[in-house]
Structure 1
Amino acid sequence: MRRALMFLAILLLPVPANSQSAATHMVEVLDMHLAMRAALRAVEVCNEAGFQAGASVVDRFGVEQVTLRSNMGGAHVAETARRKAWTAASFNLPSSDLGSLAGPGGEASLAAIPGALPLAGGLPIVSATGMLLGAIGVAGGGGGENEAKCAKAGLDAIADQLK
């Protein structure tokens, strides 16, 4: 248990580059129009594959920027997509990479973190300078592998603007 808590602390608490803390921090933020374009493209790609999906984009802090759902998408897709995006932004990793931490055999249990959803379909959005801008999550797209492809299509739709 102690090892699990230390592991979570390392993941969740960034180490400062120097010993002094600045009073303010400069961060890049994802433009609302890019968030909408990414979510729309992700939903379109899932629709083209025959699925009624939802996509959500959150900012670097996990706060929802936009969530879109296909007209016939199930009631669960919006919240599930948002949670996948939140998970990817919170850990700055694809949500599928966290699955090994969620089960009994993992170093720590993500079940103890409210809102975490370590299923495929959530991807971080990173600027050209390497700064985390947020994340996109997709649900209702026929399973994690396909949902990750839809999320990637959303990222590809805004890649030129992130350069």
Structure 2
Amino acid sequence: MNKTLIALTLAAASTLAANAQAESATWTQKILTPETALKAAEAAKAECVKRGWQVAVAVTDPSGLPLVMLRDRYSGWHTVAAAEGKARTAASWRESTSSVAERVNKPGSAEQAIKNLPGVVMIGGGMPIDAAGQMVGAIGVSGAPGGANDDLCAKAGLDAIEGDLAF
């Protein structure tokens, strides 16, 4: 009887160990819904329109893949690519493109080569979207006069969804 109890205990332990190993081999990630992404994009675009700026706004998932793209009727074709690139860059570095650009553009920076990577956009306007300490997406704005103004509009997009992301 004692041997049976030991065998059952060992079997249970090995099952628990296998489950623990399987759990550590995977992870769960929260991602913005397309509806929340659209709400952020619309708020960012509205802020820029209010200021008279014609822009494009992209919102991506945490990997930098687009969820939403909005463009003013008069914003140039280049603003679409730049907005997507800013959001993708913010998602990849998990920080604002203004912060990344400041660091990368310093003379003698060891990171200067990243400016030449395809799709990287090193100017303000890209910001990660965080919720409860986890990045759930990113936003990129392009077309306002200067990166600081693109940042201003991107921040308006983040502010619009802040309450939706409290979990």
**TM category, shorter:** 0.7 to 0.9
Instruction: Tell me if 1:155 matches 2:155.
Output: no
CA distance in 1, matches of 2:86, 2:125: 7
**Partner SS, residue 26 of structure 2:** coil
Alignment of 1:17-96 (within 5 A): 22-96=24-98
Normalized against structure 2, the TM-score is what? 0.81
Structure number with larger C-alpha Rg: 2
CA distance in 2, matches of 1:120, 1:91: 13
Query: In structure 1, what residue type is equivalent to 2:67?
Result: Q
Q: Are the aligned partners of 1:55 and 1:139 in contact in 2 as well (CA < 8 Å)?
A: yes
**Partner SS, residue 90 of structure 1:** helix
Q: Are the aligned partners of 2:115 and 2:122 in contact in 1 as well (CA < 8 Å)?
A: no
CA distance 1:112–1:77, change in 2 (3 Å): closer
Q: Are the aligned partners of 1:84 and 1:95 in contact in 2 as well (CA < 8 Å)?
A: yes
CA distance in 2, matches of 1:50, 1:68: 16
Map of 1:105 onto structure 2:
108
Alignment of 1:107-126 (within 5 A): 107-108=110-111, 109-126=113-130
How big is the alpha-carbon RMSD for the aligned residues of Structure 1 and Structure 2? 1.8
Q: Which stretches in structure 1 are left out of the alignment for 5+ residues?
A: 1-19
Map of 2:6 onto structure 1:
none
CA distance in 2, matches of 1:112, 1:146: 24
The total of aligned residue pairs comes to 144
Q: Are the aligned partners of 1:97 and 1:118 in contact in 2 as well (CA < 8 Å)?
A: no
CA distance in 1, matches of 2:107, 2:151: 24
CA distance 1:112–1:146, change in 2 (3 Å): closer
CA distance in 2, matches of 1:65, 1:38: 11
**Structure 1 residue 23, shift from structure 2 partner:** 2.5
Normalized against structure 1, the TM-score is what? 0.83
